[in-house]
A and B are shown apart, each in its own frame.
Chain A
Amino acid sequence: MASLSEMYDVGWEEMRDKLRKWREDNCRNSEQIVDVGEELISEHASKLGDDIWIIYEQVMIAALDCSRDDLALTCLQELRKQFPDSHRVKRLTGMRLEALERYDDANKHYDAILQEDPTNTAVRKRKISILRAQGKSTEAIRELNEYLEQFVGDQEAWHELSELYINEHDYGKAAFCLEELMMTNPHNHLYCEQYAEVKYTQGGMENLELARKYFAQALRLNNRNMRALFGLYMSASHIAASPKVSAKVKKDNIKYAAWAAAQINRAYKLAGRGNKDNKCSIKAVEEMLESMQITMS
């Protein structure tokens, strides 16, 4: 079987750089990481220098995702040899137990680490992940709330909590989490857009108007965010179509919706350039926008 580097004509440096990019972007493309990482480790370990340890960690986690316990164990053993007392490596041992669904053993293992180091946030979050994996959403939510009381700045945790609340259809609390994130990350268009989606889902005129405002804000931060654009269109359309709004509000929202519709059409035309097959999408979008115009007036 041809190696990756032969198949795609890439050198080991490119493979190493790809892995770094995936680390930085926190991508969960585990199969690809395993493919690239396994080859890098087995063929080019000596060239990687100190990078190899973080690559072992990355590949190990990806291997767990792909049920490649053989590879995971290899990486873990190398890390244990190099960093015998490290809590970071001990956490990886715990993750392997989680992957094998030995949750009780994993929890005992994590508790032992927390005995030695009660401030180890990574391990506390693993314990919460176990609750989520077991489907114990209520407990996970409770533990995560307690965690956030202590570690109020942990954005990853706030985002995880917002997801848990959304899955439980508790949109009010999900919105609260996203508000925390927006406060600390005012330039992040994704948080704005997600907040708007939650508000829209909550429903009611006030929430719809708030949704529209935050979709607009997300667009200001990133004018290529299609979800924000569609969201602006949908919320403005719904407001304009509502019998309960004043004539002025109706008129304003029709304007916003019309603007959004034009932008959507433009975005589709740009995307469809040189791609004959996408014509169907463009037409579908145009018709969708037209059909909604009819319901508005």
Chain B
Amino acid sequence: MPIQLTSQAYCKMLLHAAKYPHCAVNGLLVAEKTKEKKKDGHSGPVLCVDCVPLFHGTLALAPMLEVALTLIDTWCKENNYTIVGYYQANEQTQDSRPNQVAQKVAARISENFSEAVIVMVDSSRLTMSCFEPIVFIYDHLENKWKNREVTTDAFEDWNEAQKITSALLVGRSYENLIDFDNHLDDLRNDWTNPAINKSVLDLC
């Protein structure tokens, strides 16, 4: 089942990785809830319209992750979204495979959305120009997480995503990106990132 990333989802993932280059980072991917699942199964690709950056540094502790999942789940219900995936950029840039944390969170997401995906960001290829997509998309098939080939089809509009992400990286917008960790440090920090969302819209 194909997923597609919007420019907003893609650029916020990369901004998160760029803000903390020395840390592992992770977050959730959300899509709009579709009304019915067509019987023939060809309901089109799931469009990840947004992502919520979660943590940076130590990803392997449970309590704040549970809080984040529950809170974001509630937020999703308000906005008619579903959590459909999880993204992670590893601390080791040479290694972009989903580790135990990624698999555990994705399994949890799969309880509510059977075709949850893991998106791994390949930080080793992160550049200002963003000339190529630097994500790996993993699907859960036959009890294993399998890497799927990523082409520009994985994006709603690759050219737009590339242009916007590059512009925001050059403009150092990642300094203003808020993740859930930042929110826990100061509740006034808004993890929905309205300012960045607006910048994305302005650049569209």
Contact = CB atoms under 8 A, between A and B. Distances in A.
Interface of A: 28, 31, 65, 135, 163, 166-167, 169, 196-198, 200-201, 203, 211, 226-227, 230-231, 234-235, 267-268, 270-272, 275, 277-278, 280-281, 283-285, 287-288, 291-292
The 5 tightest CB contacts between A and B, nearest first, are: A271-B187, A201-B62, A284-B74, A197-B61, A287-B74
A230 B184 contact: yes
Contacts, number: 87
Interface in B57-109: 57-58, 60-64, 66-67, 70-75, 77-78, 91-92, 94-95, 100
Given A167-B60, A201-B62, A227 B184 contact: yes
B163 to A, nearest CB: 23
Interface of B: 21-22, 57-58, 60-64, 66-67, 70-75, 77-78, 91-92, 94-95, 100, 172, 175, 184-188, 190, 192, 194
A277 to B, nearest CB: 6
B183 to A, nearest CB: 8
Contacts of A201: 60-63
Contact of A280 (B66, B78, B95): B78
Contacts of B21: 65
A285 B71 contact: yes
B63 A200 contact: yes
Contact of B22 (A28, A231, A275, A281): A28
Given A167-B91, A283-B74, 10 more contacts: A28-B22, A31-B175, A211-B63, A227-B184, A234-B63, A271-B187, A280-B78, A283-B78, A287-B74, A291-B70
Given A277-B194, A285-B71, A135 B172 contact: no
A163 B63 CA distance: 16
25 contacts: A31-B172, A65-B22, A135-B92, A135-B95, A166-B61, A197-B64, A200-B62, A201-B61, A201-B62, A201-B63, A226-B185, A230-B67, A231-B64, A234-B63, A235-B63, A268-B187, A280-B78, A280-B192, A281-B71, A281-B187, A283-B78, A284-B71, A284-B78, A288-B74, A292-B70
A226 B187 contact: yes
Nearest to B66: A234
Nearest to B76: A284
A203 B73 CA distance: 23
Chief secondary structure at chain A's binding surface: helix
B94 A275 contact: no
A288 B70 contact: yes
Contacts of A65: 21-22
A291 B66 CA distance: 14
A287 B72 CA distance: 11
B74 A291 contact: yes
B187 A231 contact: no
B58 A163 contact: yes
B63 A281 contact: no
Contacts of B66: 234
A119 to B, nearest CB: 28
Given A135-B95, A278-B188, A284-B74, A230 B64 contact: yes
Given A197-B61, A281-B190, A234 B22 contact: no
Given A31-B172, A267-B187, A277-B190, A169 B74 contact: no
Nearest to A197: B61
Contacts of A270: 187
A234 B57 CA distance: 22
B39 to A, nearest CB: 32
A278 B66 CA distance: 21
A251 to B, nearest CB: 23
Nearest to A271: B187
Contacts of A272: 187
B54 to A, nearest CB: 13
Nearest to B21: A65
A201 B187 CA distance: 24
A231 to B, nearest CB: 5
A197 B63 contact: yes
Nearest to A231: B63
A235 B64 CA distance: 11
B61 A198 contact: yes
A201 B64 CA distance: 10
A292 B71 CA distance: 11
A291 B67 CA distance: 12
A243 B77 CA distance: 29
